[in-house]
């Protein structure tokens, strides 16, 4: 119990950081993943090749390495820190934003693959009908194919989002003050190892289990009935 009184505030701040990381990265990953999926099914050869190459490279890189590249490569070498250098919190802000960027670029590849599988489930007649109405490729994709593809892959997207929440712990490698960094600190200062472990386990279960439940509900609600 002393752990809760001593670290209670820090726990809440740390888990809020985790939620912020996961939420922002989820938005970034969905946007980028949708763009990548559209590129991968597009009629233009170069777009397909670039998107395929991107997905195959990033998906096979360990996330720790992606995060380290964002920190060492982008921030230190290329000077892309994503913050105003004069702001007082520029260092923490910078590592937070770089982490979001890294998670988005990594998770987007999985979103892309899921969506591509979703596009495959849309009956061919749908896009043929779209074309016969005079819609072009982008219009057909935007109004006809992608909305149905999204509804088909809500459940896999849920698994990806849960994995993203769990992956945010990796941000501690560049010093973002989220849950796992706090856990490392707490676990060294207390002897109640099991209690600390259970508190953090519970914290993450409070995040992942409702996410799974929401996506499970949505996937039933939104499933395309034929």
Partner 1 sequence: MSNQPALKTLYDAPGPRGKTLNIIISALCLAGLVGGMFWVISALNAKGQLAPEKWQPFLTADMWRTYLLPGIAGTLQAAGLAVVLATALGIVLGVGRMSQIKILRYGCGAVVEFFRAMPLLILMIFCFQLFANYNLFPSTQMAMAAVVTGLTLCNGAVIAEIVRAGVHSLPRGQSEASMALGLGSGQMMRMILLPQAITAMLPPIVSQLVVALKDTALGYQITYVEAVRQGVQAGSAYSNYIPALLVVAAVMIAINFALSQLAVTAENRLRKGRKAVVKPEEVAIPQI
Note whether 49 binds partner 1 by CB under 8 A: yes
Neighbours of 201 (CB within 10 A): 11
**The binder of partner 1 chosen from 19, 20, 23, 42 (CB under 8 A):** 42
Length of the chain: 226
Instruction: In angstroms, give the least distance from the CB of 186 to partner 1.
Output: 10
**The binder of partner 1 chosen from 96, 173, 176, 215 (CB under 8 A):** 173
Question: 3: closest CA among 195, 200, 204?
Answer: 195
Note whether 204 binds partner 1 by CB under 8 A: yes
Using the contact rule CB under 8 A, the part of the chain among 3-11, 61-69, 88-96, 216-224 near partner 1 is 61-69
Q: Which is nearer to partner 1, 89 or 139 (CB)?
A: 139
Judge contact between 109 and 78, C-beta under 8 A. no
Q: Which is nearer to partner 1, 24 or 89 (CB)?
A: 24
Measured distance CA(99)–CA(179) in Å, rounded: 14
Instruction: In angstroms, give the least distance from the CB of 88 to partner 1.
Output: 27
**The binder of partner 1 chosen from 5, 9, 85, 124 (CB under 8 A):** 124
**The binder of partner 1 chosen from 1, 79, 221, 226 (CB under 8 A):** 79
Residue 192, classified by CB atoms within 10 Å of its CB into exposed (0-12), middle (13-18) or buried (19+), is: middle
DSSP string, 81-102: -SS-TTSTTHHHHHHHHHHHHH
**The binder of partner 1 chosen from 122, 152, 154, 176 (CB under 8 A):** 122
| H-helix segments, the chain | 2-40, 45-59, 63-68, 90-121, 124-132, 137-139, 146-152, 154-167, 179-189, 193-222
Among all chains, which residue has been given the structure tokens 């993203």?
164
The residues binding partner 1 (CB under 8 A) are 40-50, 52, 56-57, 60-65, 68-69, 72-73, 76-79, 107, 110, 114, 116, 119-120, 122, 124, 127-128, 131, 137, 140-141, 145, 156, 159-160, 162-163, 165-170, 172-173, 179-180, 183-184, 187-188, 193, 197, 200-201, 204-205, 208-209
């Amino acid at each position: 119990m002393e752990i809760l009184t001593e670290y209670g505030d820090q726990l809440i701040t740390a888990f809020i950081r985790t939620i912020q990381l996961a939420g922002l990265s989820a938005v970034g990953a969905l946007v980028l993943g949708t763009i990548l999926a559209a590129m991968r099914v597009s009629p233009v050869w170069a777009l397909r090749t670039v998107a395929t190459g991107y997905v195959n490279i990033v998906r096979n890189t360990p996330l720790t390495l992606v995060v380290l590249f964002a920190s060492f490569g982008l921030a230190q070498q290329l000077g892309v820190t994503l913050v105003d250098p004069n702001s007082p919190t520029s260092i923490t802000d910078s590592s937070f934003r770089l982490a979001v960027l890294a998670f988005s670029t990594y998770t987007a590849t999985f979103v892309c693959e899921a969506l591509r599988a979703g596009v495959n489930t849309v009956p061919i007649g749908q896009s043929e009908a779209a074309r016969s109405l005079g819609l072009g490729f982008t219009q057909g994709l935007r109004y006809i194919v992608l909305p149905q593809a999204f509804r088909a892959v809500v459940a896999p997207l849920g698994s990806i989002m849960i994995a993203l929440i769990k992956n945010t712990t990796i941000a501690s490698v560049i010093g973002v003050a989220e849950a796992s960094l706090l856990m490392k600190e707490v676990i060294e200062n207390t002897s109640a190892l099991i209690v600390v472990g259970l508190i953090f386990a519970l914290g993450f279960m409070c995040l992942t289990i409702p996410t799974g439940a929401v996506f499970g509900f949505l996937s039933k609600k939104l499933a395309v009935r034929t």
